[in-house]
Structure 1
Amino acid sequence: MTAVPLLCTTYGELAGVLGSLSAEESFQPTGCAGWGPVDLGFHLLGDARRALVALCTPAPGPADTDAVSYWTGWQPPGAGDDEELWSTRIAASTQGGIAAIAAQYAETSAAVVVAAGRVRTADTVRTQDRVLRVGDLLSTLVVEAAVHHLDLVRELDRPGPSAEPLAEVRRVLEGLLGGSLPDRWDDVTAALRGTGRERLTASDRLELGPGASRFPLFG
């Protein structure tokens, strides 16, 4: 699946889950400690808005970041690092609940897909003080949305991301590792363990060897 259809699939699946949630479900735990679906949905809305801005912000090349190296600076928050947690919860609480956030996400993410289809994947754009080719930017958006889709449905009876977005997450994780993840891991396990959402087992560490010390590969 090429970049824009993959993004369309990823965003569409996530918008569908967000739009299906009841007010009660919006306060269930997620894979992001301290956030319910309403908070995570607001975070995802912010990412979609950033994507829309990025796709409309051309930058002179060459790119200084690609789909893999983008993630090297992102690690799980440390103990006591709760500034984003609280600021997101406060902002999310002013948005009118999960239904309003889901509607804004569906609208904004659909606009991102349209904007992505109007530029070439080889064009360079700027986001977060980095310059990426559009194709690499779209990969980062797919990866973030797919991983957070897993976070969103952790305690909910809803489907997770489909095979194609999860395969892109695995591709990026293997790029960060510089080698293959264990074959016995399915792509969901790869996403969860590669981002620190599940701990490595003793057998994982044995199989990964020195590479185990690099986990989580991003968070």
Structure 2
Amino acid sequence: MDLFSRSWTALRTAVADIPDEDFERPSGCTGWLVRDLVCHLVIDAQDVLITLVTPAETEPTVDAVTYWDVAETPPTGEDPLDALIPRLAAAYGEPRLLKFHLDDVGSAAGRAAELADHAARVSTRGEVLTVGDYLSAYVLEWTLHHLDLIAHLPSAPEPPTETLAAARASLEKIAGTPFPASFSDKDALLIGTGRRTPTDAEKAALRDFTAKLPLILG
């Protein structure tokens, strides 16, 4: 819960501090501007709220690691929902309205997470998992999207050190293989998910792990 709160608070704070003109810069998500990514975060926050009030009585079918599907190809932005996001973001008109909506819904999602019983089971995406596992999975989500948010904003603050480490650990569990110790947590996440191409030296350090990359999470 502490890592969920830290990662989500850091991400929302980073959004709040972005100058309006930077909302038109590209993000680290293919085909999305910063404003589009922020709009996606609003929907993510809504998903958290919905999931936390969708109880399940059956046994868990996934945990924080198996919650993630690994796709064979990266998103192109042409998926119907992905393509809808830029239109929704543009409809806000002004960055301050997007910031307000994210702060409003995002704060509610954060409070709901704090109040939730972490041993309780919830249902989402046709699966059942504990609240604790669901929130743990979102530490990876928030951290990756924080990196996406600041991909072309060099002066923006990075995710907290402890959430970068936790996200790396989660990605290594998904991959079933640890990243080289020489990789920083940030580089492991960027290279591991295809957000950055590894250098020749990094490819050499990865060795056979390279064949598993990138890990496209969905």
Answer yes or no: same fold by TM over 0.5.
Answer: yes
Contact 1:72/1:176, CA 8 A, preserved across alignment? no
Aligned-residue CA RMSD (Å): 1.9
User: 2:145 corresponds to which residue?
Assistant: 148
Within the candidate set 169, 172, 177, 1:171 is matched to: 169
Moved over 6 A (4+): none
Cα contact 1:18–1:98 (8 A) shared by 2: no
Greater shift, 78-87 or 130-139, is seen at 78-87
Change (3 A) 1:75 1:92: farther
Structure 2 residue aligned with 1:53, among 50, 54, 57? 50
Shift of 1:57: 0.7
8 A Cα contact 1:41 1:98, kept in partner: no
How far the C-alpha of 1:76 sits from its partner, in A, is 5.1
Question: What is the CA–CA distance in structure 1 between the aligned matches of 2:97 and 2:78, rounded to whole Å?
Answer: 28
1:82-121 correspondence to structure 2 within 5 Å: 82-121=79-118
Q: 1:158 aligns with which of 151, 156, 159?
A: 156
Q: Residue type matched to 1:69 in 2?
A: T
Q: 1:171 to 1:53 in 2, by over 3 A?
A: same
CA contact (8 A) 1:38 1:97 kept: no
2:5 to 8, 19, 22: 8
Residue type at the aligned position of 2:62: T
Alpha-carbon deviations, 1:105-138, whole Å to 9, x = none? 1222221222122222221101111111111110
Work out whether residues 30 and 76 of structure 2, in 8 Å CA contact, stay in contact via their aligned partners in 1: no
TM-score (norm 1): 0.90
Structure-2 residue corresponding to 1:217: 215
Question: Equivalents in 2 of 1:158, 1:80: separation in Å?
Answer: 25
What SS does the aligned partner of 2:67 have?
helix
What CA distance in whole angstroms lies between the structure 2 residues aligned with 1:83 and 1:24?
A: 27
Identity of aligned residues (%): 33
Letter in 1 for 2:15: L
CA distance in 2, matches of 1:185, 1:161: 16
Q: Which residue of 1 aligns with 2:35?
A: 38
Query: What's the TM-score once normalised by structure 2's chain length?
Result: 0.91
Alignment check: 8 A CA contact 1:126 1:132 kept: yes
| Residue equivalent to 2:126 | 129
- Select between 37-46 and 62-71 the one with higher mean Cα deviation: 62-71
Change (3 A) 1:218 1:168: farther
Q: What secondary structure is seen at the aligned counterpart in 2 of 1:136? A: helix
1:52–1:112 Cα contact (<8 Å) kept = yes
What are structure 2's unaligned runs of at least 5 residues? none
CA distance in 2 between partners of 1:76 and 1:167 (Å): 26
Distance, in Å, in 2 between the alignment partners of 1:100 and 1:120 is 32
